[in-house]
Chains A and B, each alone.
Chain A
C-alpha cells in the first residue's frame, strides 16, 4: 500500500494513477489516493474533477488510465459491490412521480434489503412528515434528503455523497452533518464532496483537496489549514488620504505590497486578521476616514490554485 496523507489505513477504496479525459479535456490527471473508514471530505472548486472522480469510484465512468477498486473489486466488472456501496449524486436523480416513501422502497427492492428499513431511513433524514408526498413537489433540500434516505436504506459500508448539502437550509445541514458523522463513527467509509471549506471543516476528519483534476493537498483539516496559512491575500481598502496610509502600512511586517489605484489602496498580506485590526488603527491615528475594507480574491478556487502551484 502507498503511504502518505493521501492514503488511508485499512482502505476500502483505492485509486491508483487514475486519469480521465473527455476528448481533449482532462478531468482527472494521474490521481492516486485511498479512502478508509471515517469521514473524508473531498474539497475543491466547481469543475475541479470531484464529481468525475466520484463517478469513477462508483463505476459510472471508466477511467481512461489507472485502476480503482472498491472493497477489493472493480465496480464496473462486479455489480455485487453495490450491495455495500451507495452514491448520493449531485444531480436531481429522483423519480418525481414517486412519493419519498415509494422512492426509498424502490431503492430497497433493487438492492434486496427488507422494506422494514424504509421508515427508519426516512426518519433518519427527518422527512417523515413529507414521506407520502410526490417528490416532484419537493424543494431542492427535501430532494437531497430523499436521495440520502434512499442511500441509507441499503445500510452501505461505503457511502459517497456528492455535494449533499446543496440546497439545504442551515437546520437541515446541521442534521445531515450529524447523520454523516454518526455513520463515520460507526466505521462506515463516508466521502463527502463539497466546494465549501467551512462545510467540510465541520464534518470531515480528513480532507483531500482536488484542483484541476489533481490532488492539491491531503491530510487532516488542521494540515490543510496550515498549508493555507501563508497564502497571500489581496485586500481593497477605501480610505481618505491614501498616500499617508500607504506609507504607514509599508512599514508593517504583515504587508507584502501596497498599490494606489484610482483613489483606493490594494494591499497584499499574508495575515488577513492582523491587517483587519491594523488598518482601522492607522486610519484613526491619521484622522483618515475608512469606508471600505474588502478582500479582493479569497475564493476557495484561488486558495486551491495557490496550493497547486506551490506544489
Chain B
C-alpha cells in the first residue's frame, strides 16, 4: 500500500506539474461560465408555469451546452492527456525502469498509475461538471444535479484514462490517436450511427447520469442511443475496462523488453 500511494503521489505531481494545471483549470471553467451565460436571461420555471425543476429552462440549458462541453471536450481532452502520460511519459523519460526494478507486482505499478491519472482527471472534470450544475442550484435552488453529474464524469474518466493509459504505453503518438478517437469516432461516427454508441466511453458516464437523474432522460436519449441508462451498469462497465487495462498493461510490462 505504501508503494501504491508513493507511485500515486509522484505520478500526480508529474501529471499536474508545470503549466498543465493552469491550462486544465481554464478549460474546466468553460462549462460553468457557459452555463452562467446561457442561463442568465432564462425564466426559472417552464412555459406552463410548472414548478418541477425538470421542466425549468435553466435545467434544459444545463442539459444542453454545458453537459456537452464537459462530456465531449473537457473530459476526453483532460483524460487523454493525463491517461496517455501516466505510463507514456515514464517510458519516454526512461524512468519506468526505476519503478520496474522494485519488489512489486506489475499490477501494483499500473494500478497506481491508473489511479493517479483517474484522480487527476476526476478532480478537474468532476469539479468542472459540478460547478456547472451548481449554477442550476443557484438559479432555481435545485442542487440534485451536482452529485450525479460529478459522479458521471468520474465514471467516464475511469474508462477514458484506462484506455488512454494502455495507448500511451504502446505509442508516443497516443495523444494524436486519442484525439482522432475522440473527435472523429466519438463526436462524429457514433452520433451518425447510433448502433455504435456502445463503443463510446463518454456515454458510459452519461448513462450513469441518466440512471441517477431519470427526468433528464428525454434530453439524453438521443445521445445515449443504444446505451441503456443506469448508474450500476455504468460503474461496472468502467471498472471492467479499468481492470482489463491494469492487468493488460501489467502483462505487457512483464513480457516486453524495456529498452
Are A109 and B2 also in contact (CB < 8 A) when A55-B258, A60-B258 are? Answer: yes
Q: Which residues of A contact B254 (CB under 8 A)?
A: 76
B21 interfacial contact with A, CB 8 Å: no
Q: Which of B7, B14, B94, B259 contacts A92 (CB 8 A)?
A: B94
Given A85-B101, A87-B97, are A95 and B10 neighbors across the interface (CB < 8 Å)?
yes
Distance in angstroms from B250 CB to nearest chain A CB is 11
The reply to whether B95 and A110 form a contact with Cβ atoms under 8 Å apart is no
Cβ < 8 Å to A, chain B residues 33-78:
none
For A151, give the chain B residue with the smallest CB separation.
Answer: B101
CA distance A55 to B102 in the complex (A): 14
> When each residue 1-16 of chain B gets 1 if its CB lies under 8 Å from chain A and 0 otherwise, what string results?
0110011001001100
Q: B6 contacts A109, CB within 8 Å?
A: yes
> What is the size, in residues, of chain B's interface with A at 8 Å between Cβ atoms?
26
| B14, A89: Cβ atoms closer than 8 Å | no
B94 A89 Cβ-Cβ under 8 A: yes
Cβ of B244 within 8 Å of any chain A Cβ, yes or no, is: no
Minimum CB–CB distance for A100 against chain B, Å: 14
Say whether A82 faces chain B, with CB atoms less than 8 Å apart.
yes
> What residues on B are CB-neighbors of A293 within 8 Å?
none
**Counting CB contacts under 8 A, is A111 at the interface?**
yes
Nearest residue, chain A, Cβ from B14: A97
Known: A76-B254, A110-B7. A58 touches B101 (CB 8 A): yes
0/1 string, A64-102, CB within 8 A of B gives 1: 000000000000100111110111010111110110000
A61 at the interface (CB under 8 A from B): yes
A106 within 8 A of B: yes
Known contacts A97-B17, A110-B6, A112-B3; A61 and B257 CB within 8 A of each other: yes
Choose one: B6, B7, B13; the contact of A97 (CB below 8 Å). B13
Q: How far is the CA of A89 from the CA of B93 in the complex (A)?
A: 13
| Contact in complex: A109, B3 (CB < 8 Å) | yes
Whether A79 touches B104, Cβ cut-off 8 Å, given contacts A55-B258, A109-B6, is yes
Tell me if B103 and A93 are in contact (CB < 8 A).
no
Q: Does B236 contact A (CB under 8 A)?
A: no
Using a CB-CB cutoff of 8 Å, which residues 77-129 of chain B contact chain A? 93-95, 97-106
How many angstroms between the C-alpha atoms of A91 and B17 in the bound complex?
A: 23
Of the candidates A81, A86, A89, A110, the one whose C-beta lies within 8 Å of that of B99 is: A110
Cross-chain contact of A111 among B103, B257, B258 (Cβ < 8 A):
B103
A25-75 contacts to B (CB < 8 Å): 55, 58-62
Contact A110 B104 (CB under 8 A): yes
**A80 contacts which chain B residues (CB < 8 A)?**
103
Q: Are A106 and B6 in contact (CB under 8 A)?
A: yes
Interface centre among B6, B97, B103 (most CB of A within 10 A): B103
Q: Which chain A residue shows the least CB distance to B7? A: A110
Q: Is the CB of A89 within 8 A of B97?
A: yes
**CB-CB nearest in chain B for A82:** B103
Q: Check A107 for interface membership: any CB of B closer than 8 A.
A: yes
Tell me the complex Cα distance, A55–B100, Å.
12
Report if A93-B94 is in contact (Cβ < 8 Å); known contacts: A98-B10, A106-B10, A109-B3: yes
Given A110-B3, A112-B2, A112-B3: A82 and B102 interface contact (C-beta under 8 Å) = yes
Q: Which residues of B contact A79 (CB under 8 A)?
A: 102-106
Query: Would you give the shortest CB distance from B89 to chain A, in whole angstroms?
Result: 10
Residues of A within 8 A of B17 (CB): 97
Rounded to whole Å, the gap between the CB of B212 and the closest CB of chain A is 38
Considering the chains assembled together, what is the distance between the CA atoms of A145 and B209 in angstroms? 52
Closest to B93 in A: A93
For B3, the closest partner residue in chain A by CB is A110
State whether B6 touches A61 (Cβ < 8 A): no
Taking a contact as CB atoms under 8 Å apart, the answer to whether A81 and B2 are in contact is: no
- Tell me the B residues contacting A by CB distance below 8 Å: 2-3, 6-7, 10, 13-14, 17, 93-95, 97-106, 254-255, 257-259
* Leading 4 A-B pairs by shortest Cβ distance: A109-B6, A110-B102, A60-B258, A83-B103
- For this complex, 12 residue pairs linking A to B, each with C-beta atoms less than 8 Å apart, are A60-B97, A60-B100, A62-B255, A81-B103, A87-B97, A93-B94, A93-B95, A94-B95, A95-B98, A98-B13, A110-B99, A150-B98
Chain A residues within CB distance 8 Å of chain B: 55, 58-62, 76, 79-83, 85-87, 89, 91-95, 97-98, 106-107, 109-112, 150
Given contact pairs A60-B101, A94-B98, A110-B3, a sample of 12 additional A-B residue pairs in the complex whose CB atoms are under 8 Å apart: A55-B258, A58-B101, A59-B101, A60-B257, A80-B103, A93-B94, A94-B95, A95-B10, A95-B98, A110-B99, A110-B104, A112-B3
